[in-house]
Amino acid sequence: AGVALLHSPVSFDLTVTGLLGTLTAGGTVRLAAIDSPAARAGGRPAFLKVTPSHLPLLDAELSPTADLVIGGEALTGEQLAAWRAAHPDVAVINEYGPTEATVGCVAARIAPGEPVPAGPVPIGTPTWNTRSLLLDAALRPVPPGVVGELYVTGTQLARGYHDRPGLTAERFLPCPYGPPGARMYATGDLARWRADGTLDYLGRRDDQVKVRGMRIELGEVEAALLAHPDVRAAAAAVRTDGGEPTLVGYLVGPAHEDSVRAELARELPAHLVPAALVRLDALPLTPNGKLDRAALPAPAAAEPEQDSYVAPRTEGEGLVAEVYAEILQVEKVGALDDFFTLGGNSLRGMRAMARIRAEVDVDLPMRALFSSPVVADLAAQIEQRIAAELDGLSDTEVAALLAAEEGTN
């Protein structure tokens, strides 16, 4: 059985697997905080259980030699990639299970050397003594590929919450898909059946948020952030510091914000692109090793620096600067100012692009703003598109346009 490193508080259900599983198998448990010297004493452990947020902390001395169990949060291939590349000979178990179902009740084993594609890593299939049900709001099963709430039933279910009969009745329900007397636990988690019969975990139901009427899956935004090669860790949150809901992305790593925003604009719908990106040295974690969303900082408010102001130099820059100033209610916008740094978001961006398209009558998609949010860069895109359209016109059409222009002067 070997040695297991137990680094989480005993009150955290992550402990159950590493403590009881190891002792039952005749192994040894090393008790030490993951960032303490004692965690490295005696060599690498054979077994370790962590959350995805712990992965950046696992150096060569902390990484297990046999099995790494990951649970507690949704896992993506992007989060696992760097650690997996350094330790291809270790099996990875992506485990799911709430405390109410005795922790581990669904699991997927990734064998040593088995490739891990990008995107959500499946949590696998239920353990032998449990069943997983994906149901809609009317408690009807959903087909493969459709998101539903995950319900767990089977012998691992707890009896309920101690001295809380109301909450027990709310979360532990009669199971209509089992024998008489069977119960099922409403996890509050969202999942989806894959065609191969395994489950994708998609996060908490209450992590599904809306910004200006648009439904946003924070996990989808975080996965897109992590897909950037220079982003080591990422998180997303909806904040209301400025009075209206704003999607904010947080990133750890050397990636430049402009590069990340341009990549997101290529991969995501406009409403899923964060209006602000905040660089952090590390993501804040709770004592249990999960992302501490409440500790994520508000993006810093920014105003154009007066000593770095560069006046618009072309008609295109003048137009874009004027539209930015009007939409964002900023007194003066220069050629080097960034739409999002000045307080822009996707809704304001749509209004700005509509104004610009009305003024220049050019086909300018919303993603142009995300890839080129600086006044001068967006103006250059507009000028390039106008030039391309003119190149496609015949001499007669050009003459007609010039005549019409002269007639309006």
pLDDT tens for each residue of 329-381? 888 898 888 888 787 877 678 778 878 887 887 777 877 888 888 899 899 88
> Residues 21-37: what's their mean pLDDT?
90
Using CA atoms, how far residue 72 sits from 97, 195, 391, in Å, is: 8, 24, 57
- Which helix (H) or strand (E) covers residue 407, if one does? helix 395-408
- Nearest CA-CA partner of 132 in 53, 217, 198: 198
**Consecutive H or E run containing 328:** helix 315-328
Q: Is the pTM of this model over 0.75?
A: no
pLDDT tens digits, one per residue of 62-82: 999 999 999 988 888 988 999
Residue 206's contacts (CB-CB under 8 Å, 6 or more residues apart) are 188
Distance, CA of 295 to CA of 303 (rounded, Å): 24
Per residue in 248-294, pLDDT (tens digit) is 999 999 999 888 988 888 888 777 888 889 999 999 988 878 889 88
**Dist. CA 344–CA 65, nearest whole Å:** 48
Q: What is the sign of the dihedral through the CA atoms of 276, 279, 280 and 286?
A: positive
Give the CA angle between residues 254, 88, 14 to the nearest 5°: 80
- Predicted local distance difference test score (pLDDT) of residue 7: 87
What pLDDT band is residue 207 in, cutting at 50, 70 and 90?
Answer: low
Q: What single letter denotes the amino acid at residue 25?
A: A
Query: Which domains, and CATH codes, for the chain?
Result: 3-125 (3.40.50.980), 127-204 (2.30.38.10), 214-295 (3.30.300.30), 315-392 (1.10.1200.10)
The share of the chain scoring above pLDDT 90, in percent, equals: 47
Question: What is the pLDDT at residue 215?
Answer: 61
- CA 345, 294, 205, 119 dihedral sign is positive
Whether 402 shows a pLDDT value over 80: the answer reads: no
- pLDDT for 323 equals 92
pLDDT confidence tier of residue 213, bands split at 50, 70 and 90: very low
Q: pLDDT per residue over 2-17, tens digit each?
A: 999 998 877 778 788 8
- Give 47's strand partners: 4, 67
Cα–Cα dist 80/118, whole Å: 9
Q: How far is residue 395 CA from its own chain's centroid?
A: 51
Please give the pLDDT value at position 78.
Answer: 87
